[in-house]
Amino acid sequence: MATPVIIVHGGAWTIPDNLVQPSRDGTKCAARAGYAVLDSGGSALDAVQAAVLELENDPTFDAGTGSVLTANGDVEMDAVIMDGKTLKSGGVACVHNIQNPINLAREVMEKTDHCLLVGPGANLFAEEVGIKKVPTESLVSDEALRELECYKVYGNTVDDLFRQRGTGHDTVGAVAIDSQGNIAFGTSTGGISCKKPGRVGDSPIIGAGGYADNEVGAVSCTGHGESIFKVVLAYQIITQMKMGVSAQEAADKALANMAKRVHGFGGVIVLGSNGDHITSFTTERMAWAWAKEGVLHHGVNPGEDLTEPVINENN
């Protein structure tokens, strides 16, 4: 038997002051949703799906409703889920007009022989499994519209903007271990603002944007996707952990290496099969929360670690 734990993130980026409280509230709520699944004997897979779903439905975050916009004002989303017991995964990329890409990713994992469906093929599969289409406008937040306008006025390239202003965006993710010792991860994102139509980031790519293996642990990444790709961030952390390096050291080193080699910034949440559970980020802020044994920890600023009971009469 293992002690169930869930960690969630709401993206590593600058997080302006006006979004700090909503980011705290959203990540706490998602960790509670995932923990409720684990606490009632549910699986790590169901817990990460429930947590990510909560974050996709919260317009504060760049996933599902609230996704950032492509250069032509469209919403194109990526999501993935992975089972650390079987190493099966399901991902979708560049998918349009669905409210919860994480549910579609789970269907890809459960009902196809594939790891990743993209674009029109992913939308066709959504129809096949009865996931309903929603209008693009229902996924667009005022913040995403404002941000696109700002990028268009001041932007050179998305790459420059990410580096100069430390902005990425608030992609969401979760990693969990259940009472059976099974481990899973899930991530969902609208990507980065002003991206070219058709651009896919690291998030739905196992090894780059995340990984889960019962024998080692799980990682969900956030930050500049092109940089995360180049260093294969998640699997770099898993490889270090396999060699006996602690989750914290593996994560800190891998992020430092990404900054050094490709000048890329981001953050990770990491869970070890040995019970380690940590967060690490090189951006100004990252919203995160984790829940274990009835206690919720959360933070947004570097070094911050606030606690409260998971079951809180105010929630």
Is 279 designated active site?
no
List of residues 6+ apart from 277 with CB closer than 8 A: 5, 7, 247, 269, 270, 271, 290, 292
Q: Which of 167, 171, 187, 283 is catalytic?
A: 171
Kindly tell me which of 5 and 221 has the beta carbon lying closer to ligand ASP: 221
For residues 34 and 176, the answer to whether their CB atoms sit within 8 Å is yes
Cα distances (angstroms) measured from residue 142 to each of 145, 279, 304: 5, 29, 29
> Site for ligand ASP (CB under 6 A): which residue of 192, 212, 231, 300?
192
Is residue 76 near ligand ASP by the rule CB under 6 A? no
Of 43, 55, 46, 70, the residue nearest 9 (C-alpha): 55
Do the beta carbons of residue 239 and residue 116 sit within 8 Å?
Answer: no
**Residues numbered 101-120 forming contacts with ligand ASP, rule: CB under 6 A:** none
Contact call for residue 202 and ligand ASP (CB under 6 A): yes
Return the number of the residue (37 or 218) whose C-beta is nearest ligand ASP.
Answer: 218
Which member of 191, 217, 264, 272 binds ligand ASP (CB under 6 A)? 191
Neighbours of 277 (CB within 10 A): 23
Q: Using CB under 6 A, pick the residue from 67, 89, 189, 280 that binds ligand ASP.
A: 189
The residue within the footprint of ligand ASP, chosen from 11, 34, 84, 186 (CB under 6 A), is 11
Q: Which of 4, 59, 210, 223 binds ligand ASP (CB under 6 A)?
A: 223
Stretch that binds ligand ASP, among 26-34, 37-45, 177-185, 201-209 (CB under 6 A): 201-209
Q: Is residue 51 classed as helix, strand or coil in its secondary structure?
A: helix
State the Cα–Cα distance between residues 28 and 8, nearest whole angstrom: 8
The greatest distance separating any two alpha carbons of the chain, rounded to the nearest whole angstrom, comes to 55
Segment contacting ligand ASP (CB under 6 A): 102-110, 198-206, 252-260, 303-311? 198-206
Nearest residue to 232 via CA among 198, 209, 260: 209
Residue ranges in 121-180 that form contacts with ligand ASP under rule CB under 6 A? 168-169, 171
Could you say whether residue 26 binds ligand ASP (CB under 6 A)?
A: no
To the nearest whole angstrom, how small is the minimum distance from the Cβ of residue 266 to ligand ASP?
A: 6
Phi-psi region of 106 (alpha: psi -120 to 50; beta: other; left: phi over 0): alpha
Size of interface with ligand ASP, in residues (CB under 6 A): 14
Complex with ligand ASP: residue 85 or 169, whichever CB lies closer:
169
Answer yes or no: are the C-beta atoms of 123 and 105 closer than 8 Å: no
Interaxial angle between packed helices 44-56 and 101-111, expressed in degrees from 0 to 180 and rounded to the nearest 10: 150
In the stretch 268-287, what mask flags binding to ligand ASP with x, by CB under 6 A?
--------------------
193 touches ligand ASP (CB under 6 A) = no
CB 172 within 8 A of CB 63: yes
Provide the binding-site residues for ligand ASP, judged by CB under 6 A: 11, 168-169, 171, 189, 191-192, 201-203, 222-223, 225, 228
Catalytic residue positions, numbered: 171
